[in-house]
Amino acid sequence: MALKATIYKADLNIANMDVHQYGDYQLTMAQHPSETIERLMVRVLAYARFADERLEFTKDLFETDEPALWQKDLTGQLEKWIEVGSPDEDKVKKASARCKEVAVITYGSSVDEWYKRNSKLKTLKNVQVWQLSERTTEAIQKLCERTMQLQLNVMDGEWTLIGDHAQAEIEWTQLQ
């Protein structure tokens, strides 16, 4: 029998004083049986970085031709394509041709090697590449619960994600 997804819910409150963005978002995420808690929580941070009412989680690991998140306009056309992890360069190039904005949120010990190996990404003008530090991904895992209440505060470029029992300083590096 095939393993089923585990459902996680998060009430995410964002107070980003740097860009004057404030909002409450109710997130429902399906954790693929092969997905780690680390990757699940990175998807939450990816949502937080690009938060919008129309941004949604996709089938992602269940459907390999979909990103972790996407945003469509009111006509159904793709606007944002957000990958999590170290995606294949060809997949990012195809997304770049289809969308106004593409982002990759990458993490882990092999990011530098992945980024060097995928050097053609640097030629794509509408692609952003963000790296999360290993310290960040370790800390956000402690915030994970099946039902989460999360508060994200951003001020002067400093990101703090607060849960019921812990908090994490979020360290972003923009590679592109």
The string of pLDDT tens digits covering residues 106-138 is: 999 899 899 999 888 999 999 999 999 999 999
DSSP, collapsed to helix, strand or coil, labels residue 91 as helix
- Kindly state whether residue 141 falls inside one of the protein's structural domains: yes
Residue 140 has what pLDDT? 96
> What's the CATH code of the domain at 36?
3.10.640.10
Residue 86 has what pLDDT? 93
Q: What are the tokens at 27? A: 């997130």
- Kindly state whether residue 24 falls inside one of the protein's structural domains: yes
- The pTM of this model reads 0.92
Residue 61 has what pLDDT? 58
- Kindly state whether residue 164 falls inside one of the protein's structural domains: yes
Q: 139 lies in which domain range?
A: 7-174
Domain count for the chain = 1
- Kindly state whether residue 2 falls inside one of the protein's structural domains: no
| Cα–Cα–Cα angle for 52, 107, 94, rounded to 5 degrees | 65
The string of pLDDT tens digits covering residues 144-162 is: 999 999 999 999 999 999 9
Residue 10 has what pLDDT? 96
Residue 100 has what pLDDT? 93
Nearest alpha carbon to residue 69 among 79, 82, 87:
82
Average pLDDT, the chain: 92
Ranges of residues in the chain whose predicted pLDDT is under 70 = 1-2, 60-64
